[in-house]
Amino acid sequence: MMSASNTEPIKTPFYDFHVAAGAKMVEFAGYWMPIQYQGITAEHLAVRKNIGLFDLTHMGEFEVTGSDALAFLQKTTTNDVAALEVGRIQYSCMTMPDGGIVDDLLVYRLPDRYFLVVNASNMKKDFDWLQSHLFGDAKLTDISPTTALLAIQGPNAEKMMAELTDYDLGSMVYYSCATAKVGGMELLFSRTGYTGEDGLELYIPYDKAEAIWHTVIEAGKKHGLEFIGLGARDSLRLEMKMALYGNDIDETTNPIEAGLSWIVNLDKDFIGKEVVAKAKADKPDRRLVCLELDGRAFPRHGHDILVDGEMAGKVTSGTFSPSLQKPIAMGYVPRSHAKSGSTVEVAIRNKRFPATVVKPPFYKDASHK
């Protein structure tokens, strides 16, 4: 089998439209994806203030069916799938026997099946992992190769999308989904996102992708819809303290230290439960926290965090926050310094800069609430 790096990256159905819109295309997780169009800062602020369109076709989508689907997902994911009602979605993660995170994901409960959305960079790993734990008549299907994903995000997303569907978007709560006509075509869509803003994510079969794109762009014209690349997606999610797999969480971090206790249900059995339960009971030695810095040196992934002059942790994500206009970061610090108001130092290019632990999220005016 060829590895992803030996093959030409996949073009999403929207590739030519990105290029025509002036996108800078990069290879990401085996796909050609737009990293930016007009510039990360302007795109970021467009989503905070109005609406933006993201191509997220690189994300992985799996379907789980069969009468053992629920039991299978209870075993492989940390959140309580039994509590998930039809039409609702839950954020969750998969853990290994040692408690390390395989991936974080969304679990949708549809009338006749479960629908999982996983990270592009982990798609194959996740599929193999889930496949290896299948039992009974539970069946796993990878529908990523024929599923495109567009996200419309921003405080004016509902107003714009209401023109494309008769479905009552006003009744749709955050983390719910529906299958209904959008632009005249039946689609699965959800009130979800990775920006903190209100918005919808549309799961589109490849054969409808081009038509939906044109419909969305046309409706977006009078609402000032802007194209948003993966660069702004990263700064938007970071301002909300939403974890990015590979940066903030990975196989060496457990959900407790990553601040994800809220998606771990210890009243059920799941792979890795023993270790995760112990981590919770013992309290982890380190915690993933939000850091704010003054000045204009920017913390970035991999920079050292120091406590009393000693190496004490690592920055996992960092940027200059376009909304707050200051450097922000996420990183692991010792439990002793995890409370908001604690101060640590971040080593940036041989200099140390004071950083303050702050309460999440960094950006407090997001429209999704």
323 binds other proteins (CB under 8 A): no
* CB of 19 vs other proteins, minimal distance in Å: 15
CB distance 155 to 196 below 8 Å: no
Residue 320 in contact with other proteins, rule: CB under 8 A: yes
Nearer to other proteins, 222 or 349 (CB): 349
Q: Which member of 60, 99, 183, 231 binds other proteins (CB under 8 A)? A: 231
Q: How far apart are CA 29 and CA 57, in angstroms?
A: 11
Instruction: Provide the minimum distance between the beta carbon of 316 and other proteins in the complex, in angstroms, as a whole number.
Output: 17
| DSSP secondary structure, 41-82, as one string | HHHHHHHHHS-EEEE-TTSEEEEEESTTHHHHHHHH-SS-GG
Binding string, 104-143, against other proteins, x = CB under 8 A? ----------------------------------------
Residue nearer to other proteins on the CB measure, 232 or 344: 232
Residue type, position 227, single letter = F
Can residue 195 be called a binding residue for other proteins (CB under 8 A)?
no
Query: Which of 119, 153, 319, 323 is in the footprint of other proteins by CB under 8 A?
Result: 319
The neighbour count for residue 259, using CB atoms within 10 Å, is: 20
Under a CB-based contact definition with an 8 Å cutoff, are residues 276 and 78 in contact? yes
Whole-angstrom distance, CA of residue 81 vs CA of residue 318: 33
* 40 is an interface residue for other proteins by CB under 8 A: yes
Per CB under 8 A, which region of 97-105, 107-115, 249-257, 317-325 contacts other proteins? 317-325
Q: E strand or H helix at 107, and its extent?
A: strand 101-109
C-alpha–C-alpha distance, residues 255 and 249, integer Å = 8
8 Å CB contact between 312 and 306? yes
187/315 with CB nearer other proteins: 315
Instruction: With H, G, I as helix, E, B as strand and everything else as coil, classify residue 288.
Output: strand
Q: Binding of other proteins at residue 297 (CB under 8 A)?
A: yes
Task: Give me the least distance between CB of 169 and other proteins, in Å please.
Answer: 32
The residues binding other proteins (CB under 8 A) are 24, 36, 39-42, 231, 235, 296-298, 300, 319-320, 322, 349
